[in-house]
Each structure stands twice: as structure tokens, then as C-alpha cells.
Amino acid sequence: MAAAPVAEQLNGFVRPPTDAETLTLYVPQTDRAAEINDHIVSHPLSVRLRSQEGVTESRPHMKIPEKMRQYNLTGGTLMGENKIEVPPLSFSRTEDELPTLTQLSYLGPSLCGHPGIIHGGLLATLLDEGLARACFPALPNKVGVTASLKIDYRVPCPADRYIVLKAETTKVEGRKVWVKGWIELLGDEDGDGTKVVEAEALFIEPKGAKNMARIYSSQ
């Protein structure tokens, strides 16, 4: 019987929910979370991306097995009231030769460094993960690790705001893939917002990639 929870967790990694299924797994637990979720899902940017051919909509964090989320930084520790209030909503072009990703999120007041300003380390973490999700489809086994990450902070990112992360794969060479991206403030309309931070990264697929868990793979 002791092995049952372990088997359940492993099964979650081996058979993660599909991208479509992740959209049904999140249920807001508070009125505020429901309000934030509705704003993200119905935002004009989401509506436009959802209508485009070749774009896959998903909530990648919902692919992490529920019992494992407590051990995941952005999918567990930093998720919740006044933090990353709802799982980010992603729109990806995974079939393109140079894949891209657009991700909408809300960052609450408990994620600050200076009062009212989102911690720069969190923004770097979000870019690390977002750039990875954007470019992994271009790798042979669809998984990699960060080899380098260059961050340029432009302006402070205010707390209690919606943001959009945009990432573009720029080059692929075997097990190496280069990607650039940025985070901007999400306005009320479908247009470019103020860039708060930009990044460039290199990801490398490990030689044992075939045996790595696929939590963020597209299905």
C-alpha cells in the first residue's frame, strides 16, 4: 500500500493531462481568483490568440501531478492568494520550426522585493521557465536545461498587475536551442504593453533526455 502514492505520482509524470485537459483542471477557490481568471481567459489578447490556426492553448502548471506541486516553485510554492493567483494561461506555436509562446499571468502583492514592486528574481524565474517552454518543442526529445540566461531589467514591475510573457525561439543546432523573450504589462486592450524585463537564453538537451519526465510536453 505504501507504494500506491508513489505509483500515482509517477503515473502523473508518465501520463500527464493533455493541453486541452489542463484548461478544465483549474477551479478558482475564491471570488478574487475567479475574477482574475475570468479577466485572463476573456482578455482580447487571449481571444485573438485562441482564434489563430496552429496555436495551442494550455495551462502547463496543471500538468504537474497535484501531490508534487508542493515541491514546485512556480506551480506550488509561489501559487496562491496574493501571489501567482491563478495558473498562467499559455498560447504556443509548437509545430513551427522556431516555436513561440505567449503567456498571461497575474502577480500579486506578496511577490515583492521593494514595497509594491515585484521581486526581480521572480521575473527572472518566470522568464527562465517561459523561454524553456517556448523552445523545448524544437529539441529532439522536447526537454532541456538552462545553460545560460541573460536578463536586462528595463523598468520596475508593479505588483497587483497582469503581465504577458512573450518568447521566440531564434536558433536550433542539434541539442542546443537559443531563445529570446520579455515580460510586459498587460493592458485592457490587445496591444503591446510596457516592457519591464527582457532576456536571452541557451538551453541544452541532456544526453539522457529520453528518460526525463515530461511535465510540460504538448499532447
The better pLDDT of the pair 146, 9 is held by 146
Q: For position 8, what pLDDT does the model report? A: 47
Domain-embedded: residue 19:
no
The number of folded domains in the chain is 1
| Residue 119, in any domain of the structure | yes
Write out pLDDT tens, residues 103-161: 999 999 999 999 999 999 999 999 999 999 999 999 999 999 999 999 999 999 999 99
The pLDDT tens digits of the residues spanning 76-110 come to: 999 999 999 999 999 999 999 999 999 999 999 99
What does the pLDDT read at residue 212?
67
CATH number for position 124 = 3.10.129.10
- Residue range of the domain that includes 183: 33-211
pLDDT at res. 188? 85
Report if residue 5 sits inside a domain: no
Poorest-pLDDT segment among 15-24, 44-53, 160-169, 170-179: 15-24
Q: How many CB atoms lie within 10 A of CB 29?
A: 11
Residue 2 placed within a domain: no
Q: Is residue 3 part of a domain?
A: no
pLDDT at 181 over 70: yes
With 90 as the cut, is the pLDDT of residue 209 above it?
no
% residues pLDDT > 70 (the chain): 90
Assigned domain for 196 exists: yes
Evaluate whether residue 216 is within a structural domain: no
| pLDDT-derived band at 3, boundaries 50, 70, 90 | very low
Q: Are 101 and 90 in contact (CB under 8 A)?
A: yes
Residue of higher predicted confidence among 6 and 39: 39
> Is the confidence at residue 214, as pLDDT, over 70?
no
Evaluate whether residue 39 is within a structural domain.
Answer: yes
pLDDT of 210 reads 76
